[in-house]
């Protein structure tokens, strides 16, 4: 180990020069022994990891059964180089028919990681049939991530939705024809996510932030003085006003649909015909409040709850072409709570903050079932996202911080009403 001779002894760096035996022949011997012991422990660790990986692969079915003279033997993917890390990683040769994603699939990934004593895995293709598997010892979404104080200049620009487990930042342009559905239990971070979303959109001249908010926090006072405020209805004092707003929006949608230019099938958003983002905060709560109102007598009008349901269903089913986008928030996207199964099917982009396992499956389909148990305890700001042409995946959404920061940003960026 000649290289060691050039390394300044540790004792010198820490200033402890009077340790007996640190120098000379004995010191060198000790250092060599320590080095050998270290190397032996690395080899021992690598072998143990290979054994665990083999057992884990056999346990979760990432293996092949080969018949040999003595019976059946199990073949598992070969592990080559092991790096101690942190994070610990190792290279694996895929067997015939295997794909890198097999190691991180929803049903296998967590079981493989837990068997290896890790929180999660990241698989990086190396070359040919080789991948490197990284063992993540902590939840990559554990730490929050702030949202830079930025606003997009047009709805065609992407706003930040969140960050994935492999640190990819996901964006979405509101001009893309997708309605957004957001569910999560109380306190799971739905509203805070929308603070980030709306603050990023507040300045764009071709976006109008409108909608209904019975809580009066997401919309309403924070938007005073902006061009958006006149198109927002808040609070529970006058539930019928929410129905009136939504019906006005439907009328505007119809007007736009009639004026789509020949040889086009959608409205092109512009400052004159902006993208209308219809925010429906705590929508099931609005329906409950509306349904609790006294019903009009027969022949004397339509119940407010039904008017709201009809308007929202029309915005959802026909609004995309007319540059209308719905952003609905609910604790649970149960069909009856959001205006029916057909209404629920219209959300191309779906986000679930902490919810019970059955709610997760309800919004993201049976593929999300294996994720349910863990997600039922998710921290605020951690969500599953499906849509954007990607598989259902776990993300952390950005966090503005205190509510006051949201108000400040809307006030700073919010497009002003033209006088």
Ligand X SMILES: Nc1ncnc2c1ncn2[C@@H]1O[C@H](COP(=O)(O)OP(=O)(O)O)[C@@H](O)[C@H]1O
Binding residues for Mg ion, per CB under 5 A? Answer: 191
Question: Cis omega before residue 87 (within 30°)?
Answer: yes
Answer with the entry of ligand X, Mg ion, none that 323 interacts with (C-beta below 5 to 8 A by kind): none
261: Cβ–Cβ under 8 A, 6 or more apart, which residues? none
Angle at which helices 304-318 and 239-258 cross, to 10°: 30
Should residue 359 be labelled a site residue for ligand X when binding is judged by CB under 6 A?
Answer: no
Question: From the CB of 351, what's the least distance to ligand X, in Å?
Answer: 11
Q: Give the residue with the Cβ less far from Mg ion, 175 or 194.
A: 194
Closest CA to 256 of 314, 322, 209, 207: 322
Torsion angle defined by CA atoms of residues 218, 220, 222 and 223, in that order, rounded to the nearest 10 degrees: 110
Tokens of 111: 């079981």
The end-to-end CA distance of the chain, in Å, is 80
Is 191 known to sit in a ligand binding site?
A: yes
Should residue 88 be labelled a site residue for ligand X when binding is judged by CB under 6 A?
Answer: no
Answer with the entry of ligand X, Mg ion, none that 381 interacts with (C-beta below 5 to 8 A by kind): ligand X
Should residue 146 be labelled a site residue for ligand X when binding is judged by CB under 6 A?
Answer: no
Tokens of 331: 């604790």
Is 185 known to sit in a ligand binding site?
A: yes
Answer with the entry of ligand X, Mg ion, none that 380 interacts with (C-beta below 5 to 8 A by kind): ligand X
**Cα–Cα dist 201/191, whole Å:** 15
Question: From the CB of 197, what's the least distance to ligand X, in Å?
Answer: 12
Answer with the entry of ligand X, Mg ion, none that 287 interacts with (C-beta below 5 to 8 A by kind): none
Q: Give the residue with the Cβ less far from ligand X, 56 or 382.
A: 382
**Cα–Cα dist 209/218, whole Å:** 11
Answer with the entry of Mg ion, ligand X, none that 104 interacts with (C-beta below 5 to 8 A by kind): none
381: Cβ–Cβ under 8 A, 6 or more apart, which residues? 144, 189, 192, 193, 353, 396, 397, 399
Site size toward ligand X (CB under 6 A) is 14
Residues that bind ligand X in the complex, under the rule CB under 6 A = 144, 184, 186-192, 353, 380-381, 397, 399
Which residues are annotated as part of the binding site?
Answer: 184-191
Annotated binding site for ATP: 184-191
């Amino acid at each position: 180990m000649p290289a060691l001779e050039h390394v300044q002894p540790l004792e010198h760096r820490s200033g402890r020069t009077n340790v007996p035996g640190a120098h000379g022949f004995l010191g060198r011997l000790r250092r060599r022994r320590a080095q050998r012991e270290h190397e032996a422990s690395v080899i021992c660790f690598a072998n143990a990891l290979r054994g665990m990986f083999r057992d884990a692969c056999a346990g979760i079915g990432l293996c092949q059964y080969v018949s040999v003279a003595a019976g059946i033997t199990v073949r598992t993917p070969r592990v080559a180089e092991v790096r101690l890390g942190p994070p610990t990683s190792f290279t694996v040769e895929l067997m015939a028919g295997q794909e890198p994603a097999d190691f991180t699939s929803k049903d296998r990934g967590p079981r493989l990681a837990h068997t290896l004593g890790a929180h999660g895995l990241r698989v990086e293709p190396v070359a040919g049939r080789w991948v490197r598997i990284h063992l993540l010892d902590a939840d990559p979404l554990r730490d929050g991530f702030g949202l830079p104080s930025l606003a997009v200049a047009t709805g065609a620009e992407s706003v930040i939705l969140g960050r994935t487990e492999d640190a990819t930042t996901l964006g979405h342009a509101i001009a893309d024809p997708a309605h957004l559905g957001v569910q999560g239990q109380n306190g799971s971070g739905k509203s805070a996510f929308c603070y980030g979303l709306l603050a990023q959109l507040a300045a764009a001249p071709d976006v109008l932030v409108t909608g209904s908010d019975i809580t009066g926090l997401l919309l309403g006072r924070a938007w005073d003085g902006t061009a958006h405020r006149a198109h927002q209805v808040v609070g529970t004092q006058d539930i019928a006003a929410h129905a009136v707003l939504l019906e006005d929006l439907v009328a505007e949608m119809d007007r736009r649909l009639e004026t789509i230019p020949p040889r086009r099938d959608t409205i092109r958003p512009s400052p004159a015909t902006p993208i209308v983002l219809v925010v429906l905060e705590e929508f099931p709560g609005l329906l409950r409040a509306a349904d609790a109102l006294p019903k009009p007598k027969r022949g004397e009008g339509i119940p407010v709850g039904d008017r709201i349901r009809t308007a929202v269903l029309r915005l959802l089913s026909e609004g995309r072409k007319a540059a209308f986008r719905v952003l609905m928030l609910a604790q649970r996207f149960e069909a009856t709570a959001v205006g029916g199964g057909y209404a629920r099917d219209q959300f191309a982009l779906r986000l679930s903050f902490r919810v019970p396992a059955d709610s997760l499956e309800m919004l993201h389909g049976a593929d999300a079932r294996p994720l349910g148990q863990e997600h039922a305890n998710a921290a605020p700001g951690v969500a599953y996202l499906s849509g954007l042409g990607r598989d259902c995946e776990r993300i952390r959404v950005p966090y503005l911080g205190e509510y006051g920061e949201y108000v400040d940003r809307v006030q700073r960026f919010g497009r002003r009403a033209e006088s």
